[in-house]
Amino acid sequence: MSRYSIHREGGPSIAWISLLLILVGLIVLLSGTGLWMLWIAFAVCFVLWVAVVSFFRIPHRTYPDSDEFSILAPADGRVVDITEIEEPEYFKSVCTKISVFMSATNVHVNRYPVSGTVVYDCYHPGKFLVAWHEKSSVTNEHNTVVIRTANGTDVLVRQIAGAVARRIVSYAETGMQVEAIAELGFIKFGSRVDVFFPVGTRVCVAEGQKVRSGIDILAELS
């Protein structure tokens, strides 16, 4: 049975929603509308509180040993796109892209898919289109991180905000030495993570497949 803890990014959000729901409860209580209305308000507030807390949960998992050739899933979610497409920001050439969509029920921590050195890190403000929109990866708020593996292969990870997500958190800094499955960042309230790597790399997942960050292998470098 999985055990969970709450991510540090959740502290402010949980505190604010708790205060808001307490205030709503006090207003209903002082309004004198009756016990039945108080119970309804309590039930609604409790459901909302649980929903917000669940966004910031972290499962306690046992991660398998990774090797230098595996590109691991950077997020929990569903593979919604596998395609060869030009990556215009860093590679400026055609790459293989795998997109993992995080729904409201998924764990929202993002992890490094490979070990290596962070050679590029850039945040881009932008719009908040739905995460599956074809232009969301370049027009939405997003953060791009590139890790250079020990064999010299660059793997790009892009955190993309969506219609609900309103804050991308990244812990990456250029020059950092990072390990696969270590925390890359957090997208508050969901959205999408894209991974770009060289064409010809063997893909190990299929569209529609559910993946878990740090556990499931997206592709194998040659």
Q: Is residue 65 part of a domain?
A: no
Cβ-proximal residues to 197 (8 Å cutoff; 6+ apart), any chain:
71, 95, 96, 153, 154, 155, 156, 219, 221
**pTM for the whole structure:** 0.77
Q: Low-confidence residues of the chain, pLDDT below 50?
A: 1, 131-133, 136
Looking at the fold, whether 75 and 183 belong to one and the same domain comes out as yes
Active site positions, annotated: 191
Q: What angle do CA 159, 109, 105 make, to 5 degrees?
A: 100
Is 121 a member of any domain? Answer: yes
Q: Are residues 101 and 125 in the same domain?
A: yes
CB under 8 Å to 220, separation ≥6 — which residues? 69, 70, 71, 201, 202, 204
Same domain as 85, residue 50: no
My answer on whether 20 and 117 are in the same domain is: no
| Residue 26 φ then ψ, to 5° | -65, -40
The CATH number that applies at residue 140 is 2.70.70.10
Looking at the 3D structure of the chain, how many domains does it have?
Answer: 2
Q: Is residue 53 part of a domain?
A: yes
What is residue 57's predicted lDDT score, i.e. its pLDDT? 72
Within a domain: 27? yes
Whether 145 maps to a domain, the answer reads yes
Q: Domain range holding 205?
A: 70-220
Percent of the chain predicted with pLDDT > 70:
82
